[in-house]
């Protein structure tokens, strides 16, 4: 086999690889973070103020993950019956795994998302709640194992 055949085989192999990668990338699902991300971007300043308001508390709200699931700990000096809001769980790897849970005043200051409702992997957890007409926000990335 002379060098001309080797060059032709190498060229055909490279072109096949590029063709395979193009076809594969065209078949990949690309989900947006949220369908209305332009409107969410316009609300960025109010979201930033809500985050700073939470951090300014003497005992700010916190999110963590343990073997039982994901937990949101609300500030200890808040009355749980006067808190309303949502916990949004965003899964970057697929929009089908995203869901939102309402904050339940019956759970008290520790809001729980049970491990049975979660698939192993990374979640971006966003909690937004209102207490005495003040909005609070926090966001944390957690890994469920």
Spatial contact of 72 and 61, defined as CB atoms under 8 Å apart:
yes
DSSP state of 28: S
Burial of 85 (0-12, 13-18, 19+ CB in 10 A): buried
Q: What is the structure's pLDDT at 81?
A: 94
- pLDDT value of position 140: 97
Residue 62: what are its φ and ψ, rounded to 5°? -145, 150
- What is the chain's pLDDT, residue by residue, as a tens digit (145 residues)? 789 999 999 999 999 999 999 999 998 876 666 677 777 777 888 999 999 999 999 999 999 999 999 999 999 999 999 999 999 999 888 888 899 999 998 999 999 999 998 999 999 999 999 999 999 999 999 999 8
Question: What's the pTM?
Answer: 0.73
Distance of CA 89 to the CA centre of its chain: 5
């Amino acid at each position: 086999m002379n060098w001309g055949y080797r060059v032709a085989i190498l060229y055909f192999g490279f072109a096949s690889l590029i063709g395979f990668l193009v076809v594969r990338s065209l078949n990949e699902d690309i989900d947006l973070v949220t369908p209305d991300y332009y409107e969410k971007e316009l609300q960025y300043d109010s979201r930033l103020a809500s985050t700073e308001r939470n951090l300014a508390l003497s005992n700010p709200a916190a999110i963590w993950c343990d073997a039982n699931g994901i937990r949101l700990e609300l500030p200890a000096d808040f009355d749980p019956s006067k808190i309303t809001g949502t916990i949004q769980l965003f899964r970057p790897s697929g929009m089908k795994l995203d869901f939102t849970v309402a904050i339940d005043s019956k759970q008290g200051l520790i809001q729980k998302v049970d491990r049975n409702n979660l698939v192993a992997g990374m979640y971006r957890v966003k909690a937004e709640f209102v207490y005495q007409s003040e909005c609070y926000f926090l966001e944390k990335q957690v890994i469920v194992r």
